[in-house]
């Protein structure tokens, strides 16, 4: 027997299948999709068996050393999916497979970590003969009474007695695998659907369309629609995937699904430990879980008999992997898996991406609508505060209107959510005397000041250091904090409302395991009055007592040099506005801005997504941006700027010679020109259809694969171009 093996090296030079002989003692266990260890040069590597054949074109083949797993790690669907991702992203095939698996199953995992399966030890009765002391009799009686007893229950009596009884055959020891994540039993809580919700559910379960866009205002009950659709397929013996964009959404979503479906669910997201992810993957693989909930990577869950895929908050750019390669879109993978399994894909959002709505308008997706909140309440009133007119009147970063509204809200014992889309204490530290600004030595960006640790940190490479008392340039004690972060706002809030209880939710406060869930749960239980956070507080959260949402500075995302900045701003503001007044109490929203006439801000006042869609589409059409054109960003990076620019211009000339219908922009400096001591140039391509593009890009990648001075990265439809 001959097997074709893809080895664990992700380098483009080794991105091919190598033939190996299989010894007779391994033949019966060899399957396509399992991991094997093989000799490779002077090394021993692991790899995936990609094919089994009877002969090879090569002579003198080396032999497979051993089989790593008895079970298939990559099933037929995932093996084929990896090849599709490779062709669509131009990544190496091995990197595509590696991104599908939990750390414990990735190749190289054996060398880099010790993720083990956990077991509990149980005891049952064997042959009860002979004389026993008091401790032994207690143990025998307890096991006889319960039938099977876990080891820790017997530890209080005497473990030495337990071991003696095992040796004598009185107790039979059994090790049973113990999963690290526990789920409660289902309660089958099912809410009665509104006529609009029922209509959406019936359209999916009785329809023949491949994809649906569920456009529903905030609080319209999209999650109930998801669960009803999933329940329909569950009863037919089919499985489901539910994608959520933010880790902060996962606890609430998991809780709601757990109440209805119990331990039929499994979760895959970054808050889990490597061991927990390994356990969840094996539960899914074994068919012990029928519903997978998680962030982007959950789209690769090894489910069989897939019935439906749900993509919640589909507008989020976190569904696109920007780094490392493969730079895939989980939304596009969902469509591929849906078509492969003849399973509908449901995209849901209160502010759909322009690409999704354009597809719905063209009939590529079937449009479903939930125009009203589930409780019949109107959407919250939105007040836009022009901060240009409040200069000198505001208290710190708060307008008089926001101060008054927070005060009134707290008097009524109601809760407040405040959004500032920037973590840290201040954006940067500068010298008022000479203008010196602290910058990252590795990246072309200012360092952010974090007061709690009194450090300056780079949010791109992680570089950090203590804050100086004097300017390192002029020696004067003239350093000042400019800009504002969540830590600074928290400090100002405590000055204005000293008796209020404030909790902050940003990257710094949620980096420890379980902190997202802890903060959300404590705020839900009204242990805090004010929740202050970055964009992670804008989506999906549902708190009955929140009647006021305040946006400190609506212009933060508007000022980012990205063609999607207006779309991202409208989406962020409308989503966070939707956190207010979701229950019986009326809600209010205050948005502070220096650009009150900008359409992305002005249209939030009436929650007018469709008007925003039309306005933004007109601009996109004129500027030839998605959804009218596809984008491809070619990044050329390295240490020598002059050499890089020369090579970038060579690449541009090659593109111009071969791509007559593609718009080619650049090369230009990346938004962050220097990152991790590496300089970066971008060439941006705009195209509708060009059959020569993929072969030409592959040719460019092949040309530079052995050039250590230049790194070429290709990103189709990038979510950001830093």
Residue 245's pLDDT is what?
A: 87
**For the chain, what is the mean pLDDT?**
90
pLDDT at 454 over 90: no
If asked whether residues 246 and 358 sit together in one domain, one would say: yes
Does a structural domain hold residue 35? yes
Q: CA 47 → CA 32, 154, 516, distances in Å? A: 11, 44, 37
Does a structural domain hold residue 185? no
Residue 249's pLDDT is what?
A: 61
Report d(CA 181, CA 186) in Å as an integer. 15
Q: State how many domains the chain has.
A: 6
Q: What is the DSSP string of 380-407?
A: PEEEEEEGGGGTTTSBTTB-HHHHHHHH
Between helix 195-205 and helix 222-235 the angle, nearest 10°, is 40
Does a structural domain hold residue 184? no
| Closest of 527, 578, 585, 530 to residue 407, by C-alpha | 530
If asked whether residues 604 and 639 sit together in one domain, one would say: no
pLDDT confidence tier of residue 495, bands split at 50, 70 and 90: very high
Question: Residue 95: which H helix or E strand, with range?
Answer: helix 93-98
If asked whether residues 227 and 307 sit together in one domain, one would say: yes
Contact 266, 272 (CB under 8 A): no
**Please, which residues have CB within 8 angstroms of residue 268's CB and are 6 or more apart in sequence?**
102, 277, 280, 281, 292, 293, 294, 295, 297, 298, 301
Does a structural domain hold residue 131? yes
Q: CA 188 → CA 195, 227, 256, 264, 615, distances in Å? A: 21, 11, 11, 12, 44
If asked whether residues 90 and 9 sit together in one domain, one would say: yes
Name residue 366's beta-bridge partners: 212
Tell me which of 698 and 553 has the higher pLDDT. Answer: 698
Domain of 687, CATH number, reads 3.30.70.600
Q: Are strands 678-687 and 630-638 parallel, antiparallel or unpaired?
A: antiparallel
**Please, which residues have CB within 8 angstroms of residue 323's CB and are 6 or more apart in sequence?**
none
* Beta carbons within 10 angstroms of residue 13's beta carbon: 10
Look at residues 71, 96, 112 and tell me which one is the last residue of a structural domain. Answer: 112
Tell me which of 451 and 296 has the higher pLDDT. Answer: 296
Report d(CA 379, CA 197) in Å as an integer. 18
pLDDT tens per residue across span 6-43? 998 888 889 999 999 999 999 999 999 999 999 999 99
If asked whether residues 451 and 586 sit together in one domain, one would say: no
Does a structural domain hold residue 376? no
pLDDT average, residue stretch 196-205: 97
pLDDT tens per residue across span 396-451? 789 999 999 999 999 999 999 999 876 544 567 778 788 788 888 888 788 887 77
pLDDT tens per residue across span 122-137? 999 999 988 999 999 9
Domain of 589, CATH number, reads 3.40.50.300
If asked whether residues 639 and 609 sit together in one domain, one would say: no
Report d(CA 447, CA 426) in Å as an integer. 9
The separation between CA 638 and the C-alpha centre of its own chain, rounded to angstroms, equals 28
Does a structural domain hold residue 187? no
Contact 552, 423 (CB under 8 A): no
Look at residues 459, 484, 509 and tell me which one is the last residue of a structural domain. Answer: 484
If asked whether residues 107 and 125 sit together in one domain, one would say: no
pLDDT at 112 over 60: no
pLDDT confidence tier of residue 109, bands split at 50, 70 and 90: very low
pLDDT average, residue stretch 575-581: 93
Does a structural domain hold residue 489? no
If asked whether residues 171 and 53 sit together in one domain, one would say: no
Q: What is the DSSP string of 12-73?
A: GGG-SEEEEE--HHHHTT--TT-EEEEEETTEEEEEEEEEEES--SSSSPPBP-EES-SS-S
* ∠ Cα 619 623 627 (to 5°): 75
Ranges of H-type helices in 103-194? 109-112, 134-146, 151-154, 159-168
Contact 64, 22 (CB under 8 A): yes
Residue 425's pLDDT is what?
A: 47
Residue 444's pLDDT is what?
A: 78
Q: Which domain holds residue 553?
A: 381-422+498-619
pLDDT confidence tier of residue 177, bands split at 50, 70 and 90: confident
Residue 166's pLDDT is what?
A: 93
If asked whether residues 395 and 434 sit together in one domain, one would say: no
For the four alpha carbons of 491, 495, 499 and 500, in that order, the dihedral sign comes to: negative
Residue 555's pLDDT is what?
A: 87
If asked whether residues 402 and 480 sit together in one domain, one would say: no
If asked whether residues 129 and 166 sit together in one domain, one would say: yes
Report d(CA 722, CA 461) in Å as an integer. 13
Q: Which three-class secondary structure state does DSSP give residue 285?
A: helix
Considering only the C-alpha atoms of the chain, give the largest distance between any 2 of them, rounded to a whole number of Å. 93
If asked whether residues 473 and 513 sit together in one domain, one would say: no
pLDDT tens per residue across span 149-170? 999 888 888 899 999 999 999 9
The percentage of residues in the chain with a pLDDT greater than 70, rounded to a whole number, is 96
**pTM surpassing 0.85?**
yes
Does a structural domain hold residue 183? no
Q: What is the DSSP string of 184-227?
A: PPP----PPPPHHHHHHHHHHHS---SEEEEEE-TTS-HHHHHH
pLDDT tens per residue across span 322-358? 888 999 999 999 999 999 999 999 999 999 999 999 9
pLDDT tens per residue across span 73-104? 999 999 999 999 999 999 999 999 999 998 88
pLDDT confidence tier of residue 108, bands split at 50, 70 and 90: low
Q: CA 441 → CA 425, 460, 521, distances in Å? A: 20, 12, 40
């Amino acid at each position: 027997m001959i097997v074709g093996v893809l080895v664990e090296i992700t380098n483009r030079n080794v991105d091919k299948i190598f033939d190996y002989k299989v010894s007779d003692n391994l033949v019966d266990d060899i399957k396509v999709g399992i991991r094997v260890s093989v000799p490779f040069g002077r090394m021993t590597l692991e790899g995936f068996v990609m094919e089994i054949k009877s002969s090879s074109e090569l002579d003198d083949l080396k032999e497979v050393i051993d089989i790593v797993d008895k079970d298939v790690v990559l099933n037929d669907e995932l093996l084929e999916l990896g090849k599709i991702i490779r062709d669509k992203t131009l990544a190496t095939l091995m990197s595509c497979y590696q991104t599908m698996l939990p750390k414990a199953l990735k190749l190289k995992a054996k060398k880099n970590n010790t993720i083990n399966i956990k077991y509990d030890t149980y005891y049952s009765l064997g042959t009860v003969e002979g004389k026993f002391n008091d401790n032994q009799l207690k143990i025998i009686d307890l096991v006889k009474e319960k039938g099977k007893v876990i080891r820790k229950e017997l530890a209080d009596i005497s473990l030495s007695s337990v071991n003696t009884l095992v040796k004598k055959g009185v107790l039979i020891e059994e090790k049973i695998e113990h999963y690290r994540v526990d789920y409660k039993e289902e309660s089958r809580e099912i809410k009665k659907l509104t006529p609009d919700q029922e209509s959406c559910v019936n359209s999916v379960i009785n329809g023949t369309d491949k994809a649906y866009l569920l456009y529903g205002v905030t609080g319209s009950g999209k999650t109930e629609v998801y669960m009803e659709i999933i329940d329909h397929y569950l009863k037919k013996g089919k499985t489901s995937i539910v994608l959520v964009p933010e880790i902060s959404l996962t606890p609430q979503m998991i809780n709601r699904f757990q109440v209805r479906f119990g331990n039929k669910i499994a979760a895959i997201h970054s808050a889990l430990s490597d061991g927990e992810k390994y356990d969840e993957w094996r539960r899914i693989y074994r068919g012990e879980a029928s519903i997978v909930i998680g962030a982007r990577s959950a789209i690769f869950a090894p489910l069989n008999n897939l019935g439906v895929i749900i993509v919640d908050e589909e507008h989020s750019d976190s569904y696109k992997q920007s780094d490392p390669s493969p730079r895939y879109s989980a939304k596009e993978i969902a469509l591929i898996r849906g078509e492969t399994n003849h399973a509908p894909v449901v995209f849901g959002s209160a502010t759909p991406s322009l690409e999704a709505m354009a597809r719905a308008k063209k009939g590529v997706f079937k449009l479903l609508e939930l125009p009203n909140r589930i409780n019949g309440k109107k959407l919250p009133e939105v007040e836009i505060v022009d901060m240009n007119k409040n200069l000198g009147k505001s208290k710190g970063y708060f307008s008089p209107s926001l101060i008054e509204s927070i005060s009134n809200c707290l008097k009524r014992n109601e809760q407040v959510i405040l959004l500032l889309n920037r973590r840290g204490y201040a954006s940067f530290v500068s010298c008022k005397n000479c203008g010196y600004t602290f910058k990252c030595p590795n990246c072309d960006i200012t360092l952010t000041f974090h007061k709690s640790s009194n450090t300056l940190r780079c949010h791109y490479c992680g570089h950090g250091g203590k804050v100086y008392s004097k300017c390192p340039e002029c020696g004067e004690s003239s350093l000042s904090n400019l800009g504002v972060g969540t830590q600074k706002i928290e400090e100002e809030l405590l000055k204005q409302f000293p008796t209020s209880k404030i909790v902050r939710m940003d990257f710094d406060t949620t980096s420890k395991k379980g902190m997202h869930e802890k903060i959300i749960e404590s705020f839900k239980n009204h242990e805090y009055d004010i929740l202050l956070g970055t964009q992670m507080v804008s989506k999906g959260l549902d708190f009955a007592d929140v009647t006021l949402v305040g946006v400190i500075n609506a212009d933060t995302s508007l000022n980012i040099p990205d063609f999607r900045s207006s779309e991202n701003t409208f989406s962020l503001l409308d989503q966070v506005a939707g956190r207010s007044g979701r229950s019986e109490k009326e809600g209010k929203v205050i948005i502070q801005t220096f650009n009150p006439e900008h359409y992305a801000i002005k249209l939030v006042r009436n929650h007018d997504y469709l008007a925003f869609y039309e306005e933004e589409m007109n601009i996109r059409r004129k500027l030839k941006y998605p959804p009218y054109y596809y984008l491809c960003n070619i990044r050329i990076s390295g240490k020598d700027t002059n050499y890089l620019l020369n090579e970038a211009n060579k690449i541009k000339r090659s593109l111009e010679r071969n791509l007559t219908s593609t718009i080619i922009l650049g090369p230009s400096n990346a938004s962050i020109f220097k990152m991790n001591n590496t300089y970066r140039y971008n060439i941006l391509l705009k195209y509708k259809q060009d059959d020569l593009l993929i072969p030409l890009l592959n040719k460019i990648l092949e040309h530079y694969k052995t050039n250590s001075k230049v790194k070429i990265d290709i990103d189709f439809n990038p979510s950001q171009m830093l």
